[in-house]
Structure 1
């Protein structure tokens, strides 16, 4: 059996609410994010229940009427629990229950209270309960400075609160409600500063605290006249610009207390010399192991993921003259070319492009040519350069991301040199025409597992989608001879006598951001390769039920939120585990959502990438998102994620 003191030390980190969160005055509450209930720790055993109860009630955060009513019932049944409450954060009015809570918690030392009170909120309990406590610190949260709320409940609460602030004999610290005055030049800021300074002048407050700030407001001078004021406390570290502003104001400099932003320091570690002077690192390791280790060492050494905008981050860190300098070096020492395995693209200029292409002529063992971070920063090359890249490094490239402008190729054989690709992200390639009598290669991009075909210029041309849909592309003159027929239909006619399936034997992930054009080809491509796919990302579906042709698909990513309702297959899909969508369909109905989910018996996660979840009880009550999310959870306990 552990002593209670040890159990308390063990449980405190899990049950503690940090001071930074408790005192936060941001417009959006830091407690609006989902976190597991800490009360679960009390259910482990009786010892934990006994020790953890005071810790649990030490800091109480109330965000809804349901929470408030529950706490009221607990305190009625166990009034001794109220004695444990030292810090109380109230993010609403919450009706008469607040009177019971405040009456039961005479030991409150820190109170955080919001002025976000609407006409539908009841603040009577707060008005009756606030005079019953005598805190040492009060923090006011007011997110409605630019558009102030006006209603009788808010007016009553402000009057009671201000009266209490004047009468609380223990009050010494005041958390200022308007910490980051982005619009501090507006009149209401000065009005509120005047109002609060006049209020605090009638108290014994000696410290006024500010949260995160981006500037020193001009109206801060209104606080200097508070007789008891000793400190203006800036809780977040200040950058040098704000420090200079403070130091230039003699009165503010006398009162201000702050920390400076820590400047990063680069400390070189002391490395002890080897005890064996003949030691050779990785002497007996395989070549593959050596390359893997040195790759990571070099990446960290040259800060590959810094915010620099060089075209070749790796190479330019080694040779400071850019791609041109690398080219000159390789011309002098061509034996270095095969050592270049990874090239990261970032920006493009005409001069860079020419130098880069010269570099590529030396990279006979290149494995990676793609952006370092932003996938849209592809290297733009001509079709001639693309063909040359295939000849030089097609056998070694494993990942390739390029945009081919003027990217016309006359035969799928031009893709054949890329025999080792696992990831291909390509934009712009189109097919100028294929001779129907040509015997097509059967192993085009045979090793590609991850394929992304981006938006293309489709005017009077046919694209890779047609190629991998096994649609023969006929010449433009022949296409134009089929008067009145859409190009897609003309291409379908060309299937006669040309039925070889092209490559993609290893395909598992397919990304097609735009499928506005050549819908027939897209549907044929999905029919032909769908059984291989585990991940599929698609633009607008155009009414195609892709899941009927992808029985092994485990993850589906939609780029159009309205496609979520159109996605359902004709029969149940047992492989799908995750669906990702930008948001919920417009006018989505919970019953329709449940009917849709019934088609995916093994679905475990729905991700809404751009969903702005309501953060207050009032927003939740008005939101159409919440009932749908509840239907997800009730239906199968699905996990839903999203971001603002």
Structure 2
């Protein structure tokens, strides 16, 4: 039996809401995510001891984002009044105040003035005077036009909230909702800032935290200096370009200078900017050679493994990893200068990944002209340009001629495929056709004989508008190992016209294709030709009803489309025809982040309908809809 203190330490990381999330004043709530609720960890399925310890942790911080959540929590607190004393921090993102009379021990209160006409703030108006928090965080959303409605008027400055700011005797810290933008924005915000100042004059607040970024000191800031109890006016770190002006304005007021606290950008000194040299104790025997007595093969294997990590080869194999030296990943060149032995072992790692840009192209070509043998070390080439300039063309030709062991040729970013000529493509096929595993490029034309040379190619991504292959010359044994095919723009239509069939390319490879990207599936029966397909990405408009096969497709796990469907009917397909389908991803999908937008969304009912069929509807980040705002759960929504 574990002591309660140990159980609490175990459960705290899973059940507690971090302070930085609770106090986050961003325009989009950090709780509008779609990760599993932390209450899913609730330990009643473990034992009563864990439930007893977990309950105070679960209710310590409460976040309310829907009427259903507020009502569900009110029912729980009515049935278990003692739970109300566990609530120390309450974040209310809307007009949900029904629980305030049951939570007398609140120390931290977060209130949002994002109140719509459909909200009901009567519970807040009645409940706010019943609590007495130590810290209050007030947020007023920056929108094109300030919100105005009867429900907000009952709370807004001059009404309930302002009355409470002056009467909460325990309030010592107040997070102000406004920044310097109110000086040039709608006068409604300036009026509300003045009302807040008048209310705080009656309070005992000693610290006001300003969360908004300041480019200048607005008038209401000087008014805050007249609050008798105020001791600290905490400014956020100013933008570097505005720091001088802000400091000058602060120093120009003796009262403001006395109260203001802020952190400025400090330029790094030469000492702090320099990379720290490791503190290494000098060897007692300067003539000692590590592993001198070990066999040469063993010594080489060990040092290669050490250098692999020292030169962060694995990280550089990712195209998104920075090629510029940083403090955490300094230049690798000094390693090659340690000794001739280190140079010979580390040089292949230095040359393994090449970043081809318009700026680096000439230098790469020059280096290969001077030392052609370096080409054999190149395994990956990442490109950053779609241009077909002379420097890029010449460098590409040299790389393809000498990179005889090349495995990957892809863009550093997905939408920047390098254009390569027919001549360069044929050269690549001759020199690296046996080793190339992944190719992503825009090509003017491709010959059938060149395709046959790629015996190791697994992933092929083609961009552009021309793909000219002889109708009779496409060999059926070409691209034997291909399992992923991405064809962008109108390329697929060209292939279909050339082969004069239901796409001879897909017919030949359809049985082994697992991942396919096409412009439109309407031209041919893609699912019939690709019975083992796991993932299908469609670049144009997609009507899943028309995509549905006549017989069940037993492998398709995921469908990716680019646009939210125009009508829900486009997604009303027969799930029996896709028994393995578990995810439909929509690239441009933006999930609603508050109760009002959820009620107006046409995609949310579709997501919930698909979820009942065990199919997740996800956005570009892979986040699927969680109908938590309607289920009555209390925590993150």
TM over 0.5: yes
Cα pair 1:61 1:88 within 8 Å, conserved: yes
Alignment-derived partner of residue 59 in structure 2: 57
Alpha-carbon shift at residue 400 of structure 1 (Å)? 2.9
Residue by residue, what CA displacement relative to the aligned partner does 1:294-332 show, whole Å, maximum 9, x if unpaired? 66654559967455799x997889999943334334333
Alpha-carbon shift at residue 435 of structure 1 (Å)? 9.1
Cα pair 2:411 2:418 within 8 Å, conserved: no
The 5 A counterparts of 1:246-325 are 246-248=246-248, 249-250=250-251, 251=253, 254-259=258-263, 266-269=275-278, 277-279=289-291, 283-284=296-297, 298=311, 305=320, 322-325=360-363
Alignment-derived partner of residue 380 in structure 1: 419
Q: Secondary structure at the match of 2:522?
A: coil
Q: Does 1:346 align with 2:380?
A: no
CA distance in 2 between counterparts of 1:434 and 1:447 reads: 21
CA distance in 1 between counterparts of 2:309 and 2:545 reads: 44
From 131, 134, 137, the equivalent of 2:132 is 134
Cα pair 1:25 1:179 within 8 Å, conserved: no
Relative to structure 1, the CA distance from residue 24 to residue 569 in structure 2 (aligned partners, 3 Å threshold; closer, same or farther) is: same
TM-score by length of 2: 0.79
From 564, 568, 571, the equivalent of 1:588 is 568
Q: Secondary structure at the match of 2:430?
A: helix
Q: Does 1:541 align with 2:577?
A: no
CA distance in 2 between counterparts of 1:398 and 1:623 reads: 43
Relative to structure 1, the CA distance from residue 242 to residue 270 in structure 2 (aligned partners, 3 Å threshold; closer, same or farther) is: farther
Alignment-derived partner of residue 155 in structure 1: 153
Alpha-carbon shift at residue 22 of structure 1 (Å)? 1.2
Alignment-derived partner of residue 32 in structure 2: 32
Alignment-derived partner of residue 429 in structure 2: 390
Alignment-derived partner of residue 498 in structure 1: none
Alpha-carbon shift at residue 367 of structure 1 (Å)? 0.9
Alpha-carbon shift at residue 221 of structure 1 (Å)? 3.8
Cα pair 2:457 2:482 within 8 Å, conserved: yes
TM-score by length of 1: 0.78
CA distance in 1 between counterparts of 2:79 and 2:403 reads: 78
Alpha-carbon shift at residue 215 of structure 1 (Å)? 3.7
CA distance in 2 between counterparts of 1:42 and 1:299 reads: 42
Relative to structure 1, the CA distance from residue 186 to residue 313 in structure 2 (aligned partners, 3 Å threshold; closer, same or farther) is: farther
Alpha-carbon shift at residue 197 of structure 1 (Å)? 2.3
Q: Does 1:573 align with 2:553?
A: yes
Larger mean Cα displacement after TM superposition, 247-256 or 607-616 = 247-256
Relative to structure 1, the CA distance from residue 600 to residue 195 in structure 2 (aligned partners, 3 Å threshold; closer, same or farther) is: same
Residue by residue, what CA displacement relative to the aligned partner does 1:75-132 show, whole Å, maximum 9, x if unpaired? 21111111221111111213xxx34x22222211111112122222211111111111
CA distance in 2 between counterparts of 1:17 and 1:179 reads: 27
Alignment-derived partner of residue 619 in structure 2: 642
CA distance in 1 between counterparts of 2:391 and 2:301 reads: 32
Cα pair 2:486 2:516 within 8 Å, conserved: no
Alpha-carbon shift at residue 558 of structure 1 (Å)? 2.3
Alpha-carbon shift at residue 55 of structure 1 (Å)? 1.7
Alpha-carbon shift at residue 253 of structure 1 (Å)? 5.1
CA distance in 1 between counterparts of 2:179 and 2:465 reads: 54
RMSD: 3.9
Alignment-derived partner of residue 95 in structure 2: 93
Larger mean Cα displacement after TM superposition, 57-66 or 561-570 = 561-570
Alignment-derived partner of residue 343 in structure 2: none
Cα pair 1:207 1:233 within 8 Å, conserved: yes
Gaps of 5+ in 1: 472-491, 493-519
Cα pair 2:92 2:110 within 8 Å, conserved: yes
CA distance in 2 between counterparts of 1:444 and 1:93 reads: 65
CA distance in 1 between counterparts of 2:364 and 2:573 reads: 60
**Aligned length, in residue pairs:** 576
Alignment-derived partner of residue 395 in structure 2: 356
Larger mean Cα displacement after TM superposition, 180-189 or 83-92 = 180-189
Alignment-derived partner of residue 230 in structure 1: 231
CA distance in 2 between counterparts of 1:176 and 1:47 reads: 42
CA distance in 2 between counterparts of 1:333 and 1:369 reads: 21
CA distance in 2 between counterparts of 1:543 and 1:301 reads: 41
Alpha-carbon shift at residue 631 of structure 1 (Å)? 1.0
Relative to structure 1, the CA distance from residue 385 to residue 558 in structure 2 (aligned partners, 3 Å threshold; closer, same or farther) is: closer
Q: Does 1:551 align with 2:527?
A: no
Relative to structure 1, the CA distance from residue 386 to residue 211 in structure 2 (aligned partners, 3 Å threshold; closer, same or farther) is: same
Q: Secondary structure at the match of 1:424?
A: strand
Cα pair 2:536 2:559 within 8 Å, conserved: yes
Residue by residue, what CA displacement relative to the aligned partner does 1:379-426 show, whole Å, maximum 9, x if unpaired? 33332333333334334433333333xx356x5224444444333333
Alignment-derived partner of residue 514 in structure 1: none
Relative contact order (alpha carbons < 8 A, sep ≥ 6): 1 or 2 greater? Answer: 2
CA distance in 2 between counterparts of 1:321 and 1:529 reads: 38
Cα pair 1:25 1:142 within 8 Å, conserved: no
Cα pair 1:361 1:389 within 8 Å, conserved: yes
Alpha-carbon shift at residue 47 of structure 1 (Å)? 0.8
Q: Does 1:337 align with 2:375?
A: yes
CA distance in 1 between counterparts of 2:620 and 2:468 reads: 43
Q: Does 1:426 align with 2:430?
A: no
Q: Secondary structure at the match of 2:233?
A: strand
